[in-house]
A and B are shown apart, each in its own frame.
Chain A
Amino acid sequence: MKCDRFIEALGAKIKILEVTRQCEDQVTALVEVNDLPEAVRFLYYDMGGYLSTMIANDERSINKHYALYYALSMEGGKMFAGDEIAQDEKCFVTIKVLISPDSLTYPSVTPLVPACVWYEREAYDMFGLVAEGLPDKRRLVLSDDWPDNLFPLRKDAMDYRYRPDMKEHYNEPEYEFLRPEGSGIIDVPLGPLHVTADEPGHFRLFCDGDTIVDADYRLFYQHRGMEKLAENRMNYDQMGYLAERVCGICGYAHAIACIEAAEKAINLEIPARAQAIRIICSEIERLHSHLLNIGLACEVTGNYNAFMHIFRIREYSMKLAELVTGGRKTYGNVVMGGLRRDMTGHEIKESLRILKIIETQADEVWDAVMDDPRQMKRWKGVGILDKQVARDFSAVGPNIRGSGIKRDTRYDHPYDFFKQIEFNVAVVEGGDVFAREMVRYMELKSSVSIIRQCFELMPQTAIIIDPTFHVKPEDFALAYVEAPRGENVHWIMQGSAQKVFRWRCRAATYNNWPSLRFQFRGNTIADAALIVCSLDPCYSCTERITVVDIKSKKSKILTNKDLKEFSKTLKNSPMKDLR
């Protein structure tokens, strides 16, 4: 069976307490707490693993302990040609440890495997689990005014409706940034409200003149408590919709990943047509996402003309999505066992026509951009992600492929219909913004081809199988989808009554953030926004705004429609009926 080789090798070095198998390519090994760093390091560096996710879990109701799961994707280090595990041996190995609620401490893996840093910081925020020896113990997820001893993901911590009082903004405690030592450095804040950073995140650039000496960041402004929201409350059909709302751009990948995690746990095989359409949707998502990113990469350098034209093309991909799913952006068609909506032949034909348009026009614009030496100068050599850094931090998606590491979940762990589709993994050496945009462009092209293949190979079967299934409590499984930004990993532990016990959703960008600091260094402020943009960080968008009258303290919530209406006509001022 897959995975056994790794378990054996691990067993030769470290005492394994227990091995459980979740599905064909997923195995979990329980080890002693003190062996944890060595076990993870061994699998990561010696056996060629990448850290896919790490899950902290409050299992006191099950085994009176907290548990940590370090899920490693065993695919080879890929640092040089041939440094890769054979295709049929690639799998996921999870190292599990149990932590006693009395001590709440475990040895940190980060000093050995830097990729763990955010996970271990988050484990403290959410569960109060202290990683001994973690070099960076600052708060990661929770806001700075969050009470100190309240760990929201503990099962007994807090009611999900409960939320601590907010502080006034000027009373917020100051976050401690890693300000470099040395004189004459200016702190340039980028965000949370900044013209080019559409996402609310705060980047602190430490600059000497225009040169970035070092950078630090404070993110999670949009933390919405979704994992808490899902626990013990939602059934699996609802989960799909919730997961899709994790992200405004690549929500669909989350939806599939989440549902497939549940399907994996019960070894449910969905119909081929459903598989194909899931792939089509996710590739359409990749299309528009990459177009968006390439456009933005032009825009942040000031090339509005290219930006406008790329967005014009992106409009076609939205139309395509509408044809396939009925929704322009948020498709909402994934359910346990398959899909909700099928396609007609006419829609397929129309889709193929639009695909053609997208392909030709994207080529035209891309050529124009490539021909502009000024644009190339802005992209080349900027924001270089060193190959070793990428390896150490388990970066994903175009970010790591731009650094010359051939890492693509569709290729490493083919899921669904991908087993039947031929495509090339886009890998570009260089690690700079240009390399990442090039990867995106190549993927854009391959997405078009994948969609075409899917339309061709798509069998005429049902799109859903009868979702009568029974989930076993305490079973868990991992699902993975290559979203436009990289691998999305969802981990679900089943609870009783067909509800989720613990849902861990790890979006692609989560693995890309920690190495950003090293991409910033040595570049200029002008490039900072471009570098962030080339990472293609996940946006969490909202389409509601609140109007507040500061005098009367009254407010009114406007929908997108209201707002647009008012902006266009200047009638029905929202200021009239504040409550």
Chain B
Amino acid sequence: MNILFLILTLPFVCGVIMFVMPLKFKLLQNLHILLSIAVSALLLSAVGKVVEGAELSAFHNFIFLDSLGAIFLSLIAITGLLVNIYATTYMKWELEEGHITLREVKNYFALSFIFTATMSLSVVCNNIAFMWAAIEATTLASVFLVAVKKDKSSTESGYKYIVLCSIGLAFALYATILLYSAANGKVEGEAMLYTNLLANAASIDTMALKLVFIFALIGFGTKAGLAPTHTWLPDVHAEGPAPTSALLSGVLLKCAMLGLIRYYAIVANGAGFDFVQNVMIISGTLTLFISSFFLIRQHNVKRMFAYHSIAHMGVIAFGLGVGGAIGLFAALFHCAAHSFTKALAFCSTGNIARIYGTKDMTKMGGMIHIAPLTAVLFGIAICSLVGVPGFAIFVSEFLIFKAAAIDGSYLLMGLFAVALAIIFIADFSHFFLATFGKVEGKVEHNSEMKLGENFPLIALAILIVAFGVWQFDSFTLLLDESVKTIMKQ
């Protein structure tokens, strides 16, 4: 059986299995972990094959896995697995405190597999229409993860999520159709297939491609959280349970970004790199600055991280905008780096919420004394997010600077530096507020989590640091391959 087919079916099957399981938490928990490992192992094996150089495709190229997809698939695998493991712990706490019923937990576990399935689908789709559908499907699959609690604010943010993303994605659909109509007949083979479009981009009408890209930017940008169409994101990310936010921010946004990158590749090769780069720079700069100003006044830890997601989407967009081999490399690297970092960040908010019972950082304080490990993990997440060297995100930011320097775009370097500096200052001041000093509000759980409970976080932290200083050859290979595909070199 084709491995790609397995990728799509296994998570779905797992979801169904979870649905029919009896309401026993211990069982659910272990099973969830087990199945998650199985799914991730499968995904990674597929990635492994790509690294070894295999071109995977199925259903007449309807679905395929290239190096670009492999990067994102590995993110789904690694981040997804660790977040899923953390989710079991998190749900245990929620159950203990009676915030949630066991049935809801079961549904949550089951849905998270469906969610994984839809995301995987969006990554491996070669058919652009189908990719659009898959991304829309991720919205639907994830909305239940967000609104798991069924209270008013949960439901409302779920509603907002669906409505806004759908509006946005409608434009993406338009872009898809436009692309198809522009390409149909001008490209060899099926004009719906990404591989074909990319290969024959030069023969498509330039003006049409420009229009396509703008609609794709709005469409996938809404889903990915590029300003000013990001507005749904803070509400939704702040609302759901910590693991959901981690998944949404860590993985889902990247999937939407992948959609945009694919369009980027097509349009860049058709209408020239200058156009896409300029558009992406505008979008990236706008996103960076808007999110950085929003960040300053955020005292809710989850909202803060949500704005961070926007900011980092801005960084990716900026990277794409700076362009060149190094810029693209940086943007893709950033996807991975941000995925790990944001997963860690949101997961640590789970710990923090358990300690303080609040998300308001002005009411925290003294975390380093209460839960040193959580504080350190939180610190690592923040450090990485603001681009402290030695952590993964710095590498990509450094590379973006490098790309700009080599390109000679000194103004861009300046803009980027200013935005990052604002983010840095805004973030660290919040971090210090929560971590040091005296406890400002009340403390609900006055001790460190168990080491086992913290395992996924530590794993993420190790990944962040490792990606920050170490060079993983297979990963670099994937990135280089992808860049080559996009640049057609």
Q: Do chains A and B touch in the complex (CB under 8 A)?
A: no
A residues adjacent to B (C-beta < 8 A): none
Instruction: Give chain B's interface residues, CB within 8 Å of chain A.
Output: none
